[in-house]
């Protein structure tokens, strides 16, 4: 029954996608990119006099949407692994893949750092409440698990993990509301108003950190490839990169 409900839910998602996405362009974007993406979406709409719809979700969710055949013109996940997998399956156009900015993981703690988390291995201290992304959903979840495994503390860390969040945005809220003592998030999220003045950042030691790249690519099933190519180029342009930098992202070197 559970499997049947899952299949029915997927079918409903696809049906809804075909009915609800009425813009001239449909973008699938990682939820953690919402701040710069909304600014660039508005700019592009004004420049082209069109409507752009952006569906935000975890990288795993938007990848699954493309895999299920949902209408998508441009795919922008939080980790290039998803774009690489999409390319292997023929879902994105190879010569449109562009590396945009770097995603740098950090440890976010509530203002004042009440649990005195000073480094990665403090996450396994008894009593420290930790939040990470679901390893099967947002890119930061998969990366967090890999880093904890790299440090040799994954099994111990699971004893302290209080919540596995479906999106990186929710991790930020958990820390800001002091519902956890620490969370592994992307460093660029600290510029968001939701966390400003409410959290501090503890860098992850170089030997454990795994820095990722945010890519963009035009989907092979795009119904408006001309506009898709233009949007893909715009978010990688000098103007687009200025917006990424404004929101705390580090552009990839061209």
Same fold, 2-102+213-251 and 105-203: yes
Token match 């690519």: residue? 217
Closest CA to 135 of 163, 115, 173: 163
Residue 254 CB coordination number (10 Å) = 8
Query: Residue ranges of the domains in the chain?
Result: 2-102+213-251, 105-203
pTM (2 d.p.): 0.81
Residue 131 · residue 161 · CB < 8 Å: yes
pLDDT in tens, 75-125: 999 999 999 999 999 999 999 999 999 989 999 999 999 999 999 999 999
Q: Which CATH architecture has domain 2-102+213-251?
A: 3-Layer(aba) Sandwich (3.40)
Q: What's the pLDDT tens digit per position in 60-82?
A: 999 999 999 999 999 999 999 99
Q: Token digits for 1?
A: 């029954």
Architecture of domain 105-203: 3-Layer(aba) Sandwich (3.40)
What is the rounded distance in angstroms from the CA atom of residue 54 to the CA atom of residue 30?
10
Per the CB < 8 A criterion, the answer to whether 108 and 172 are in contact is yes
């Amino acid at each position: 029954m559970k499997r049947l409900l899952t299949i029915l839910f997927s079918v409903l998602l696809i049906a809804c996608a075909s009915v609800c996405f009425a813009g001239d362009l449909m973008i699938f974007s990682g939820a953690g990119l919402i701040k710069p993406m909304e600014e660039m979406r508005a700019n592009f709409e004004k420049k082209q006099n069109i409507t752009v719809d952006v569906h935000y979700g975890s990288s795993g969710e938007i990848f699954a949407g493309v895999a299920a055949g949902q209408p998508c013109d441009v795919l922008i996940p939080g980790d290039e692994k998803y774009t690489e997998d999409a390319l292997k399956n023929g879902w994105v156009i190879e010569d449109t893949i562009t590396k945009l900015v770097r995603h740098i993981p950090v440890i976010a703690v509530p203002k004042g750092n009440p649990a005195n988390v000073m480094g990665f291995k403090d996450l396994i201290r008894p009593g420290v409440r930790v939040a990470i992304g679901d390893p099967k959903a947002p890119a930061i979840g998969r990366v967090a698990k890999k880093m904890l495994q790299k440090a040799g503390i994954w099994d111990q860390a699971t004893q302290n993990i209080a919540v596995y969040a479906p999106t990186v945005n929710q991790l930020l809220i958990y820390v800001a509301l002091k519902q956890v003592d620490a969370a592994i998030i992307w460093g660029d999220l600290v510029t968001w108003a939701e966390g400003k003045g409410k959290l501090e950042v503890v860098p992850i030691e170089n030997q454990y950190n795994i820095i990722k790249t945010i890519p963009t690519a035009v989907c092979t099933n795009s119904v408006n490839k001309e506009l898709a190519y233009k949007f893909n180029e715009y978010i990688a342009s000098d103007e687009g990169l200025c917006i990424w930098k404004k929101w705390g992202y580090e552009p990839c070197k061209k």
